[in-house]
A and B are shown apart, each in its own frame.
Chain A
Amino acid sequence: MDELLSEFVAETRESLEALANIVVALESDPSDRALLDELFRFFHTVKGSCGFLDLPRFERLSHAAEDVLAEIRSGDGEPDSDTISAVLAIMDRIADLCSVIEHGEALSDEDDQALIDALRRESGATEAPDIEERPGAPADHPVARATGNGAAPAAPSVAAFAAPAASAEPAAGQGRDANRDADPEAGDDAAVRAPTVARTIRLPILLIDQLMNGVSDMVLARNELARKLRGGTADPELENAFERLSSCIADMRDTISRTRMQRVDRLFMAIPRMVRDLGRDLGKKIEVVIEGGDVEMDREMIEMVVDPLTHIVRNSIDHGIETPAERRAAGKPDAGLLRVSASQSGSQIVIEVSDDGRGVDKDAVAARVVASGIMSAADVARLDAQERLDLIFLPGLSTASRVTAVSGRGVGMDVVRANVERIGGVIALTSEPGRGLTVTLRVPLTLTIIPGLILGAGGLNFAFPRSAVIEILHDSNPAVSVDRLGGGLTATIRGTRYSMIDLEDVIGRPKEERPGPRTLMLVRSASGRPYILGVSQVENHEELVIRPAAPVVMSAGIYAGMTLPDNGHPMLLLDAGGIAQAAHLPLIAETVDALLPQQAEPENAEDQYSGLRFIDLDGVERVIRLALVDRVEDVPVGNFGRVADRSYVTIGGEVIVCAQSVEIAADGAGMAEVTCLRVRDDAREICYPVRSVIDIGTVPERLDIVLRQQLVAGVVVIDGRRIEVIDGLALLALADETGRGGLRPTRCVIADGEDRWNRDILAPLLHQAGYQVVWGAASADEGEPDFGDNAILLLTSGKEGDAVRAGGGPGVDGSESAVPVVRLRRSSVPDGPDDRSIYRYDRVALLDALSALEAPRGEARRGAA
């Protein structure tokens, strides 16, 4: 059932419940206009929405009721008890239909007409037009489609779904009886049938927000407790309990964030209709393909994306897709294709709108930019193809040669981009002239939690959305030069000049005196060109829960919200675009080397990737794919260590495998801090200590020499220098070997938590192997404990009581048990030929048995039996 329909059903049910009383009240006081109006509005709404949803039966019923009520409103009729009964019968029928839609069954429509006739008879109304014209309309298609094979229509009686009418019992009697007559035996049938759809309730968002706040409170309290615990003496029992509390809180936080999620369907729902209407207005034929509607994102985010998406779709239809005649001339099919898709990529949602229209004429855009005086012809001539395409985002530019009714001239792509960037998103264009345009929106999953950087400036800390940062450099980097001219700052990075502003100047605070280089951040701004923001340092990065700031705070124009990090000190989230505006930065970048004769452009940009060049500990220059590097961090030498011939480093309380030992470094002894590249894929992480980081640059995909040796994949030549390329696979494979590859999803339930051997020998072994350990005894009082889907029960003593206590049930030998069971025995020799238990010191056999049970559930059960 699609979401729109289920929302309609939920709303209708809610209104029905509220209205049942009103109808009865109306009967006792027929003169009450307000009640009458309310009832009328209900039918009117139902009629309106079901026309849209293509539910003709709802429409007929509500239309009939609306007509009768309209007459009463106009004074031509009287809401006597018979009329009210008839209205109630209609309401009951609507409730039935709601259930039918929910359950995907068919409901005979034979007696709809009888209800309507009854209603008219009772009200003595004149023939309502329009209804009689299509009596006995075929069972409407949502229902028909749901059954598909034309199953015998079973009419669930009102009795089973009487909630709405229950309070209106006396008055409703008549209508209900009539219904029951129509299908006498259906009542029991419906009562027995269990609801098959997932049950849902509707909640005010406010309540969810309060819940979310409550959980945040818990997290803060937890952190405080953690600090207190660290101070005192270590008590393993207490720490265990605390760990459990922590993981419960983390789970809860996750669950609550999920309640805010909604399917992207909702965002896409309006598109087909809009495309159809627009296409008709413009005389274009357009096919719409929508994909990935089941991707979920924050409901607030969905609201924020609606406008930009609508604008992009309108643009595609208006400017992109040609008229059928033009398309024929271009050798394309008459109907244009508009494809809207959503997919999740990491913590981002990628929404793509692509058409097969004429694409964007880069040169026309460039000409328009020059004509409107935004940039000079010389400047424009220096831009490469992509930059020329991106000119479309400049404010005050519209490529439409005329103002059309559809796209108008008011808002351009600059506003779309500003809106997308305001929510931490990125917009990108790919145009193939004559073949179509693809607009890609990348937006964070949720508005409320964003990856952020914590900056220091003027003695204060601020949060900054990481999505707005392109690059972070120290001003001591040789690739950067900062110029002061007439009070204004300009920074040149690798030949490109950018406007620069120090954050301290924006917030009007003195710069802090501190040793070490300042940090420059290359930042995207909503209004066009990136700029450089100077701060005293970037301290940390963190997932931040963002909340709206009060209007007075927002009035400063440089903030996007506020956040409360786990340390409990509120922090403001800076707005990159706002800072640029507040500082009145002229956001123009020019390329110095564009003045030099252009080098022949590489044939295909896809053959290059951006890489991070660094000097390795052994003094050799190497390069690593930038996308693999999560971040670069300076770590004190003391944090490095070796265990059994492997290197480890402790960063932020976590122990991470080190790709190489820092002692290799010839000057290792002299260094206080080692620069570390933290390399990670989606699951595992490894730390790669280096001597220093040089720069980011493009690296050709093709190796000049393939030379696979340890961590090196080969050698490329960049600017005449040979640079060794790090093999990402080999590097991350190192992380894998150590078994620190993240937790397995399977939980091992140890039945007897009081047994010392279980606690001190078995549990550590399981932890080591990556399993979560749950104690069975703890759940004893809670009746049937729920171990979840991926649990394995471990029994260590022969006592049956263990099994019962752990919830395994009497059929503990595997066949009937809810969870697979592994039995351990104390003796190294099996009890007999039927003894399938495992000797408890046989580590290999135990781990083998566990991983065999880790297989998908069905197989696991068979394996256990």
Chain B
Amino acid sequence: MSELYLFATIGGERVAFRTTEIEAVVKLRELTPVPGAPRYVAGLSALRSRVLTIINAAEIISARFSCDAGRSCPDCVRQGLVCHAIVCEISGHSYGLLVNGLEDIRMVDSPPMPVCGRLDPAWQPHVRGVIENEGQSYFILSVATFLGGGFAQAA
């Protein structure tokens, strides 16, 4: 059973998303800050006539893994540092999940494997399994649970 995965990094960890969950990947050019919202809400961004609520994935996992640019996401984006967001729609709202690095989109033939070893408790609730690509293993994350269930835990 081969499946198409998107490989990226979040807070320095290698992760993979099933492409069936993903609508698009966009390069962010501008972010409107949302004062008062939880830290993991990086801002708003326009994708054509849609408004995406951009979620900083690393921040959801834990503030410790946050991107080390040392600036707020809107500032960072304004300075032209490339950031990518994975676009998806959950219960009528459009989100963009901010990932720190975007590596590849590739078909993987082997099925996902269970997680081995003791995980950092911050990652524990999010990881769906492990998949191998070119000799390296990646966490499998689900965008939906990340954005759906992730809020409750992070908030």
Contact surface of A with B, Cβ cutoff 8 Å? 213-214, 216-217, 219-220, 458, 460, 506-509, 547-553, 555-559, 562-564, 568-572, 582
Contact between chains at A460 and B35 (CB < 8 Å):
yes
A-B CB contact pairs (8 Å), 23 listed: A213-B50, A217-B48, A220-B48, A220-B49, A506-B35, A506-B36, A509-B35, A550-B53, A550-B95, A552-B40, A552-B41, A553-B44, A557-B36, A558-B36, A559-B34, A559-B36, A564-B46, A564-B49, A570-B32, A570-B45, A571-B32, A572-B44, A582-B36
Contact between chains at A570 and B46 (CB < 8 Å):
yes
Q: How far is the CA of A569 from the CA of B29 in the complex (A)?
A: 11
Give the contacting residue for B32; candidates A547, A551, A569, A582; CB below 8 A: A569
Contact between chains at B36 and A548 (CB < 8 Å):
no
Contact between chains at B93 and A551 (CB < 8 Å):
yes
B151 CB to closest chain A CB (Å) equals: 6
Q: Does B51 contact A (CB under 8 A)?
A: yes
Contact between chains at A552 and B32 (CB < 8 Å):
no
B59 CB to closest chain A CB (Å) equals: 12
Contact between chains at A570 and B44 (CB < 8 Å):
yes
Interface residues on B, range: 20 to 34
The interface bits of chain B over 85-127 (1 if a CB of A lies within 8 angstroms of the residue's CB, else 0) are 0000000110100000000000000000000000000000000
A548 CB to closest chain B CB (Å) equals: 7
B67 CB to closest chain A CB (Å) equals: 19
Chain B residues with CB under 8 A of A558: 36
Chain A residues with CB under 8 A of B55: 552
Q: How far is the CA of A213 from the CA of B38 in the complex (A)?
A: 28
Chain B residues with CB under 8 A of A214: 49
Given A217-B49, A553-B44, 13 more A-B residue pairs with CB atoms under 8 Å apart are: A213-B50, A220-B48, A460-B33, A460-B35, A506-B35, A506-B36, A508-B36, A550-B53, A550-B95, A552-B38, A562-B44, A570-B46, A570-B51
B86 CB to closest chain A CB (Å) equals: 15
Contact between chains at B35 and A556 (CB < 8 Å):
yes
Chain B residues with CB under 8 A of A547: 51
Q: Does B37 contact A (CB under 8 A)?
A: yes
Q: How far is the CA of A216 from the CA of B46 in the complex (A)?
A: 12
Chain B residues with CB under 8 A of A562: 44, 51
A15 CB to closest chain B CB (Å) equals: 27
| Residue in A458, A559, A563, A564 with the greatest tally of chain B CB atoms within 10 Å | A564
Q: How far is the CA of A539 from the CA of B50 in the complex (A)?
A: 24
Contact surface of B with A, Cβ cutoff 8 Å? 30, 32-38, 40-41, 44-46, 48-51, 53, 55, 92-93, 95, 151, 155
Q: Looking across the interface, which residue of chain B has its beta carbon closest to that of A571?
A: B32
A789 CB to closest chain B CB (Å) equals: 32
Chain B residues with CB under 8 A of A220: 48-49
Q: Is the interface of A mostly helix, strand, loop or mixed?
A: mixed
| Residue in B41, B46, B151 with the greatest tally of chain A CB atoms within 10 Å | B46
Q: Looking across the interface, which residue of chain A has its beta carbon closest to that of B154?
A: A552
| Residue in A220, A563, A570 with the greatest tally of chain B CB atoms within 10 Å | A570
Give the contacting residue for B51; candidates A507, A564, A582; CB below 8 A: A564
B150 CB to closest chain A CB (Å) equals: 10
Chain A residues with CB under 8 A of B93: 548-551
Q: How far is the CA of A24 from the CA of B32 in the complex (A)?
A: 58
Contact between chains at B49 and A556 (CB < 8 Å):
no
Chain A residues with CB under 8 A of B151: 551-552
B94 CB to closest chain A CB (Å) equals: 8
Closest 6 CB pairs of A and B: A556-B36, A507-B35, A216-B49, A570-B44, A550-B53, A217-B49
Chain B residues with CB under 8 A of A548: 92-93
Q: How far is the CA of A568 from the CA of B51 in the complex (A)?
A: 10
Q: Looking across the interface, which residue of chain B has its beta carbon closest to that of A215?
A: B49
Contact between chains at A553 and B49 (CB < 8 Å):
no
Q: How far is the CA of A396 from the CA of B44 in the complex (A)?
A: 38
Chain A residues with CB under 8 A of B92: 548
Chain B residues with CB under 8 A of A568: 46
Q: How far is the CA of A431 from the CA of B155 in the complex (A)?
A: 47
Chain A residues with CB under 8 A of B41: 552-553
Q: Looking across the interface, which residue of chain B has its beta carbon closest to that of A217?
A: B49
B73 CB to closest chain A CB (Å) equals: 14
Contact between chains at A549 and B53 (CB < 8 Å):
yes
Give the contacting residue for A572; candidates B30, B34, B45; CB below 8 A: B34
Q: How far is the CA of A551 from the CA of B149 in the complex (A)?
A: 12
Q: How far is the CA of A780 from the CA of B49 in the complex (A)?
A: 35
Q: How far is the CA of A28 from the CA of B46 in the complex (A)?
A: 55
Q: How far is the CA of A194 from the CA of B95 in the complex (A)?
A: 50
Q: How far is the CA of A711 from the CA of B145 in the complex (A)?
A: 67
Q: Looking across the interface, which residue of chain B has its beta carbon closest to that of A554?
A: B37
Give the contacting residue for A553; candidates B34, B45, B48, B50; CB below 8 A: B34
Q: How far is the CA of A582 from the CA of B37 in the complex (A)?
A: 12
Contact between chains at A552 and B49 (CB < 8 Å):
no
Contact between chains at A555 and B48 (CB < 8 Å):
no
A500 CB to closest chain B CB (Å) equals: 19
Contact between chains at B49 and A555 (CB < 8 Å):
no
Contact between chains at B32 and A553 (CB < 8 Å):
no
Q: How far is the CA of A569 from the CA of B32 in the complex (A)?
A: 7
Q: How far is the CA of A691 from the CA of B43 in the complex (A)?
A: 42
Q: How far is the CA of A550 from the CA of B40 in the complex (A)?
A: 13
Chain B residues with CB under 8 A of A213: 49-50
Q: How far is the CA of A547 from the CA of B51 in the complex (A)?
A: 9
* Given known A-B contacts A570-B44, A572-B32, A555 and B53 have beta carbons under 8 A apart: no
Contact between chains at B53 and A553 (CB < 8 Å):
yes
Chain A residues with CB under 8 A of B36: 506-508, 556-559, 582
Q: Looking across the interface, which residue of chain A has its beta carbon closest to that of B155?
A: A555
Q: Looking across the interface, which residue of chain B has its beta carbon closest to that of A562?
A: B51
Q: Looking across the interface, which residue of chain A has its beta carbon closest to that of B43?
A: A570
B56 CB to closest chain A CB (Å) equals: 11
A129 CB to closest chain B CB (Å) equals: 48
Q: How far is the CA of A550 from the CA of B42 in the complex (A)?
A: 13
Q: Looking across the interface, which residue of chain A has its beta carbon closest to that of B48?
A: A217
A261 CB to closest chain B CB (Å) equals: 21
B50 CB to closest chain A CB (Å) equals: 7
Q: Looking across the interface, which residue of chain A has its beta carbon closest to that of B36?
A: A556
Q: How far is the CA of A349 from the CA of B92 in the complex (A)?
A: 28
Chain A residues with CB under 8 A of B45: 570
Q: How far is the CA of A219 from the CA of B49 in the complex (A)?
A: 9
A445 CB to closest chain B CB (Å) equals: 21
Chain B residues with CB under 8 A of A216: 49
Contact between chains at A508 and B35 (CB < 8 Å):
yes
Chain B residues with CB under 8 A of A553: 34, 37, 41, 44, 53
Chain A residues with CB under 8 A of B155: 555
Q: How far is the CA of A551 from the CA of B92 in the complex (A)?
A: 11
Q: Looking across the interface, which residue of chain A has its beta carbon closest to that of B41?
A: A552
B139 CB to closest chain A CB (Å) equals: 23
B145 CB to closest chain A CB (Å) equals: 15
Q: Looking across the interface, which residue of chain A has its beta carbon closest to that of B49?
A: A216
Q: How far is the CA of A570 from the CA of B29 in the complex (A)?
A: 12
Q: How far is the CA of A460 from the CA of B34 in the complex (A)?
A: 10
Q: How far is the CA of A458 from the CA of B72 in the complex (A)?
A: 15
Contact between chains at B37 and A460 (CB < 8 Å):
no
A792 CB to closest chain B CB (Å) equals: 37
Chain B residues with CB under 8 A of A571: 32
Q: Looking across the interface, which residue of chain B has its beta carbon closest to that of A206?
A: B92
A545 CB to closest chain B CB (Å) equals: 9
Q: How far is the CA of A507 from the CA of B33 in the complex (A)?
A: 10
Q: How far is the CA of A569 from the CA of B37 in the complex (A)?
A: 19
A552 CB to closest chain B CB (Å) equals: 5
Q: Looking across the interface, which residue of chain A has its beta carbon closest to that of B51?
A: A570
| Residue in A508, A509, A553, A568 with the greatest tally of chain B CB atoms within 10 Å | A553
